[in-house]
Each structure stands twice: as structure tokens, then as C-alpha cells.
Amino acid sequence: MISIVDYGMGNLRSVHKGFEKLSFSACVIERPEEIRCADKLVLPGVGAFADAMDGLRARQMIDPIHDFISSGRPFFGICLGMQLLFDKGYEDGEFDGLGVLPGRVIRFAANAGYKVPHMGWNQLRIRRPAPLLDGVADESFVYFVHSYYVLPMDESITTAETDYGGSFTSIVWRDNIFATQFHPEKSQQVGLRLLRNFAEL
């Protein structure tokens, strides 16, 4: 069973429907003990970094998420769910993330011709093969909605990049941890392929 974490923020129903469309069993969970019982875990998210961490903390989900990742079971972070994996977020201050991956989450610079948030379709530049990208072509288009992006300290975890006034990390992968800055559930056939790949791990 694929379990999708509800911590008060996120595109839960769209992600759930994406897996259901592919005929995979998925459920939305909201209690820490349900995380411990999950086979595969998805952490989606839309909104502010600090509010998301507050939501996880209030629901006592932080330790269970750490334990789940340490167990080696497949984990998938989506958009804000990817950003929360890192050490620090700098949205309206400095806030601690989950600290699973070393790095920071910073805002796009105000470059001429590039609006913030970065919203709409953009391309993936695949840097290395990954199980999540099986059957996905280089320069495929996916759908983004975000004002902040991750700066990993370990560049080897960057699996794909995207250009928006400069390159930023759009997919990371380390061991059992997979995460995308874009929304696969909104990315049509390419996104469904990523969801399928994760579900079949």
C-alpha cells in the first residue's frame, strides 16, 4: 500500500487520484502510527516551509518519517515535500527542515523576464539515470509551481535539473529517497510514468 501523508498542507487528492488512475492502491494517512505501517510513503506539499514543519510537528510525524526513511522503504517527496527533506528553509526567516538531506531551500532571484513563482511547464535535464526516471526521456516537460528551490550540499544526489534564469535541482535521489520539485500528478503522461515507477519499486 502507498501511503500519502496528510499534515494539513498538500495536494493530497490529486496525488491519490494519480495512483488510482494507474490502478495502484493508495491511501491518505494522518496519524504517526500509520507511517510506521506504510509500505511506501509519499510526502506531498503546497504552501510555506515553516507552516509545513509546524504541521508535521503538531501531528508527531517527524520521528516516524525519519524512522521510515531509515528503514530503507521507498519514500517520495513532492514539491514542498522535497524541500522539507533538507536542513534549512529561508521563507520569511530561517527554519529547520527534516534534515534528511544536507542543503538549503532558497528563493528564486528576481531576474528580468522570469516571474516568481515559477509556474507552468518546463523541461527536465537528466543528469544521471534513476529508477524513478525509467522510460522518461531527457528534456521531457513537467509542471512546476514554486518560489523556492533546493541547493543540495551533495551535488551527487541531483538527478535532474531545470533552467529558470539558471539551473536548479528538480529531482533528487539517494538510496530509497526520491523527490521532485515539480508535481508529477499534474504532469500528464510523464508524471504518471514517474508515479508508476515509484509504485513499482
Q: Which residues are catalytic?
A: 79, 183, 185
Question: How far apart are the C-alpha atoms of 57 and 85, rounded to whole Å?
Answer: 14
Q: Is the preceding peptide bond at 117 cis, omega within 30 degrees of 0?
A: yes
What burial class does residue 30 get, using C-beta atoms within 10 Å of its C-beta: 0-12 exposed, 13-18 middle, 19+ buried?
A: middle
Question: How far apart are the C-alpha atoms of 149 and 179, rounded to whole Å?
Answer: 12
Closest CA to 184 of 29, 1, 52, 4: 4
